Chains A and B, each alone.
Chain A
Amino acid sequence: MKKLWLALGLVMGLGLMVSAGSTIAGFYADMVLNSKAEKRGMPPVVFPHWLHRIEFKCKVCHPAIFEMRSGSNDIDMNKIISGQFCGKCHNGTISWKPVQCARCHSGQPGLTTGPLLGVK
């Protein structure tokens, strides 16, 4: 009987180890933007908040460019290309142009708009 429990525990432990060792699923403070992306046939956007925080204080973007509530910014590619929202910097002068789709549209399908980790 004890042998059985030991085997069961080992199998479960093995499963835990394998699942914990899988690839990065995201980082704290990442935001998912998916109010339009998937409806229009693109993977959702995962915005890396803390990578931007290295270079810019919160006040640079909030609230002048982005409202501080997920889902309250009506962002689309036309607006970005014409210089609004992400396009304020991602225009080839301050940062790279939005020409490589997968650089932002990198989320797995089915993600909901809001923080990727932490409280929804």
Chain B
Amino acid sequence: MRRLSGFPRAWLFIGATVLIAAGLYACTLFNTQPPAANNQKPAQTITPRPPVTSSVGGAQTGDDYEDPTTLPEPGPPYAKENRDPSVIMKDFPVDSEGNIDWVKAFKDNTVHPHESLDLNKAPMPPFNFDIEIPAVGAMPNVIFPHFPHTYWLDCGNCHPSIFVMKRGANPISMVKIVNGEFCGRCHGRVAFPISNCTRCHVKPK
């Protein structure tokens, strides 16, 4: 008790402040080092790379060609700013978990993805068909909306190999979904993660 009163407590406080400041300084150092390294490279080349707006029909820039006699250096996947998703997708709508909400993104015209490599192909008309899937216990039931799925996918992506087109014929469970069957073929791997329970379990019993 006596040790913590008066001077020692003040010293503890000062020490803690200094350490936190040092930590913050180290943090900023680590954060700024890679961009600083990247910023030096465009200064050496003549033209800075323009930001990518569309990859379709894009012009071939000269610095895409490299010395074919050297092997690439392995590095972080997003070496350049125009390939960094956190830069390109920074204004995209996000869901409650902070992942990009792709359904909201196409509904509010943030993205306009192509339907096919054939640019004249008309988009599939909306298929508004919701299916209620009963959930175990007190969990709210799942409403599966066909529309956002058919916007991104064809019927043949899921039917009949992943889901049999018959009510009750698919023994779906969360264990199977976690292990990559049924919804888990995409959700948790490329579509929004299954940790976001309330995005599927929406209808209270």
Contact = CB atoms under 8 A, between A and B. Distances in A.
Interface in A54-110: 54-60, 62-63, 68-69, 88-89, 92, 94-97, 99-103, 105-109
B85 A94 contact: no
B180 to A, nearest CB: 7
User: On chain B, which size bracket covers the interface?
Assistant: 35 or more
Interface string B143-156: 00000000111101
A92 B1 CA distance: 75
Contacts of B83: 48, 51
A50 B190 CA distance: 8
Contacts of B154: 59
Interface of B: 4, 8, 12, 15-16, 19-20, 22-24, 26-28, 30-31, 34, 54-58, 60, 64-66, 68, 71-79, 83-86, 88-89, 99-100, 102, 111, 113-117, 151-154, 156-157, 178, 180, 184-186, 188-191, 193
A21 B103 CA distance: 30
A32 B99 CA distance: 20
Contact of A6 (B12, B54, B100, B116): B12
Interface residues of A, number: 62
Interface string A25-48: 111111100000000011100101
B189 A115 contact: yes
Given A6-B12, A56-B113, A59-B153, A100 B64 contact: yes
B30 A118 contact: no
Contact of A43 (B72, B117, B184): B72
Nearest to A52: B55
A101 B71 contact: yes
